[in-house]
Amino acid sequence: MYQFNYGYELLELTKKFNKPISEIVMLAEQERTGEDLEVIFEKMKKNLQVMREAINKGLNEDIKSVSGLSGGDAKKLYARIVIGNTLSCETMAKAAASALAVTEVNASMGRIVAAPTAGSSGVIPGALITVARKFGKSEDDMTKALFTASGIGIIIAKNATLAGAEGGCQAEVGSASAMAAGALVELMGGTPEQCLTAASFAIMNLLGLVCDPVAGLVEIPCEKRNALGALNAMICADFAIAGMDSVIPFDEVVETMYRVGKAIPSALRETAEGGLAKTPTAMRLKKEIFEKEKRGD
C-alpha cells in the first residue's frame, strides 16, 4: 500500500494519505518488514546518535587516518569558527566542518553510519545536524528527516546507483547531497514536492562528479567533497523552499545521473586510475603507502 519505486509514486502517496515523505517511508518499512513503527523509529534514532558522536569526535579529537594521508582538518576549520573568522557564514562553516569530522573519523577507523555509503558518510550528518541545531529542532524532527533522506536514497538505489564504482562520486556524494537536501526541506516544513525539487537540484549541481581517490583510499578528495555535498544540500533546500522549480523532474534527474555514470570512463569510477589519483603526487603517495604496507610498518 505504501511501496514506491519512483519519486512521482512517493508524491502520490503523500497526497493520498496526506502525510509527509518521512511518514510514508516509515509506513513502507513497517509494511515490508512487519516490525513496529516504534522499533523502526528507535533504530533510526540510533543512527542519529552515532552521527552526532562522530561529529563531536572529529571536531574535538586529534584524528589521523590509518594511511596517514589525512586527518585533523575538521578541527582546524572548527578553530576558525570558534573565533568567528570564517568567510562563509557560521552555519555553512559548521556544516562543512561537521561533514569533514565524520569522514575523518571514518578514515581513522572510527564508528560512522554509512549514509548511504561510508565514503559519503559526512554529508547528511553535516547538513542535517547543523541546520537542526540552528533552528532548535528536536531529536524526533531530525530522526524523521533521516527517513525522508532514506526515501530519496531508496529511489536512487532502485533507479540508478549509490556506488562510486558504478556511477562515480556523483552517485555517492551526489546522492547523499540529494538525500540531505530533501531531509532539510521537510525539517524546515517544506512540502513533499519541495523535498524532491531540492533533491533534483542537488544532483543536477553535482552531475558528472568523478570518483578518483588518491591511493584508492576514501580520503583525498573524498573528505572535502563530503563538505561540499553538505553545503550543496543546504543551498538546494533554500532554492526549493524559496519556490524555485528544478524544471527537470526528480525521476528524470535520477535517470540522468545513472546515464552519466555509465558514460564516465572506468578510470574515473573508484579504480584510482584517473583524475587526482593519477597525478605525480598521488602516484608517489600511493607508492609510499604501498611500500609501507609491504614492509609491514
Partner 1 sequence: MREFSVFDIMGPIMIGPSSSHTAGAARLAKIARKIADDEIKEVEFILYESFARTYKGHGTDRALLAGILGFDPDDERLPRSFEIAEELGLKFKFTESDEEAPHPNTVRMIIKTSDGKTYNILGCSVGGGNVLLKEINGIEVEFTGEYETLITTHIDKPGIVAAVTKVLADCNINIAFMRVYRHAKGDKAIMVIESDQEIPERAKEVIKNIDGILNAIILNPV
Q: Which residues form the interface with partner 1 (CB under 8 A)? A: 5, 25-26, 29, 32-33, 40, 43-44, 46-47, 50, 65-67, 105-119, 121, 124, 146-147, 149-151, 153-154, 157-158, 162-163, 165, 179, 215-219, 289-290, 292-293
Considering beta carbons, is residue 81 or 195 the nearer one to partner 1? 195
End-to-end Cα distance, the chain:
56
Considering beta carbons, is residue 18 or 295 the nearer one to partner 1? 295
Minimum CB separation from partner 1 for residue 117, in Å? 6
Minimum CB separation from partner 1 for residue 24, in Å? 11
Minimum CB separation from partner 1 for residue 139, in Å? 16
Minimum CB separation from partner 1 for residue 199, in Å? 13
Considering beta carbons, is residue 59 or 217 the nearer one to partner 1? 217
Minimum CB separation from partner 1 for residue 158, in Å? 5
- Plot region of 22 (φ>0 → left; ψ -120 to 50 → alpha; else → beta): alpha
Is 157 in contact with 163 (CB distance < 8 Å)? no
Considering beta carbons, is residue 29 or 94 the nearer one to partner 1? 29
The three grid cell numbers given for residue 228, joined into one nine-digit string = 561540499
Q: Cell 525539517 identifies what position? A: 187
Considering beta carbons, is residue 27 or 188 the nearer one to partner 1? 27
CB burial class (10 A; 0-12, 13-18, 19+) of residue 7? buried
Closest CA to 91 of 225, 189, 235: 235
Considering beta carbons, is residue 88 or 258 the nearer one to partner 1? 258
Minimum CB separation from partner 1 for residue 41, in Å? 11
What distance in Å separates the CA atoms of residue 8 and residue 172, rounded to the nearest whole number?
Answer: 22
CB burial class (10 A; 0-12, 13-18, 19+) of residue 258? middle
Considering beta carbons, is residue 118 or 276 the nearer one to partner 1? 118
Q: Report DSSP state, residue 174.
A: I
Angle at 28 between CA 24 and CA 32, to 5 degrees: 175
Find residue 211's DSSP bridge partners: 269
Minimum CB separation from partner 1 for residue 66, in Å? 5
Residue 81 is which amino acid? I
Minimum CB separation from partner 1 for residue 51, in Å? 9
Closest CA to 25 of 38, 34, 35, 14: 14
Considering beta carbons, is residue 26 or 203 the nearer one to partner 1? 26
CB burial class (10 A; 0-12, 13-18, 19+) of residue 118? middle
